[in-house]
Amino acid sequence: MLGFVEEILLLQLDDSQGKFVNLPMSAADVVLAGAALMELALANRVDSDLEQLILVDPSPTGDDILDDVLKHLAEGGDLTADGVLEQISVNGEKYQEMALQRLIAKGVLREENGRFLWVFRTRRYPVVDDSEQREVRARLRQLLLTDEIPDPRDVVLICLIGACGLLGLVLSPEEIARTTTRVEQLGRLDLIGQAVTKAVAKIRFIVANASSAIY
C-alpha cells in the first residue's frame, strides 16, 4: 500500500502526459506536507484537536519523509495545524522528489528525461502500473456517490484531492455539481485536512489576485 504522500503525488500526475496537473507550487507543497502529517496522525504519532497538534510519539517510523516531519515537530515551536503546515511545506519539493524516487523504485512510475525546444531539460513520469490509481479512484467515486461512511484513510484522500481541485479525476462535471455538499462534508472530517484545504484556498486566492493585478 502506498502512503498518502505517494498516493496524492500519483493522483496529481496526468496519465496521458506523465506531467503534474497545474497547481500553484506552494499549494502543491502544502498538500504534500498535509499528506505527511495526516499519515502520522493515522499512525498515532500525532493527534490534534480544535486548538493544536500534539506530538504523541517522536520515535522514527523508518519512513524518511515522515521522520523528517517528526523531527521538525519535536523541535517545538508553533504546534497549530496551520503553523506546522506552513513550516514543513518549505520542504515540499524535497518530499516530492523523495516520493517520486520511491514510486519509480516500486515500479509504479518511470522517469523520462527530454528537451523542450532542444534547450530546456524536461522530466516526465509516465505511469507504468496504474492499478493503485484505478483502485483509489473507484473507491472514492463509490464513497462520494453514496451515503457510505468513509474509513479514515479515505477521508484523508478526499481532503487532499478536494484541496488539489482533482475531483474531476473521480467524478464527471455533472456528478461534481451534484455532490458538492457531500464532498464538503467528508472533507471536513479530518481537522488537519481542514487546515490543508484552508491553506491551499488561501494560496489560490493570492495567486488569482496577483494575476488579476498584473492584467
Partner 1 sequence: MEFAQDQVGDVAIVKLAGRLDSSTAQPAEASFTQMLGSGTPRLAVDLSRLEYISSAGLRVLLVVAKKVQQAKGKMVLFGLVPNVREVFSVSGFDKIFAIQSDADAAVASVR
Q: Which residues bind partner 1 (CB under 8 A)?
A: 41-42, 44, 47-50, 54, 56, 148-152, 155, 185-186, 188-192, 194
> CA 42 to CA 161: how far, in whole Å?
18
19 or 153: whose CB is closer to partner 1? 153
Of 40 and 203, nearer to partner 1 (C-beta) is 40
Nearer to partner 1, 54 or 90 (CB): 54
Instruction: Identify any residues that bridge with 48 across adjacent strands, giving them in sequence order.
Output: 53
User: Which residue lies nearer to partner 1 by CB, 145 or 207?
Assistant: 145
E-state strands within 79-119: 112-116
Minimal distance, residue 3 CB to partner 1, in Å: 17
113 vs 146 by CB, closer to partner 1: 146
Reported as type and span, the H/E element at residue 94 is helix 92-105
Tell me which residue has cell 455539481: 177
In whole angstroms, how close is the CB of 148 to partner 1 at the nearest point? Answer: 7
Smallest gap, in angstroms, from Cβ of residue 185 to partner 1?
5
Angle, CA of 8, 11 and 12, to the nearest 5°: 90
Shortest reach from residue 94's CB to partner 1, in Å? 26
**Measured between alpha carbons, how far is 114 from 137 in angstroms, rounded to an integer?**
30
Contacts of 107 (CB under 8 A, 6+ apart): 128, 129
C-alpha cell at 107: 515500479
Least separation in angstroms between CB 19 and partner 1: 34
Residue 64 Cβ vs partner 1, minimum distance, rounded to whole Å:
23
Q: Which three cell numbers stand for residue 205?
A: 486566492
**Quick one: which of 71, 58, 15, 164 has its CA closest to 156?**
164
Closer residue to partner 1 (CB): 55 or 100: 55
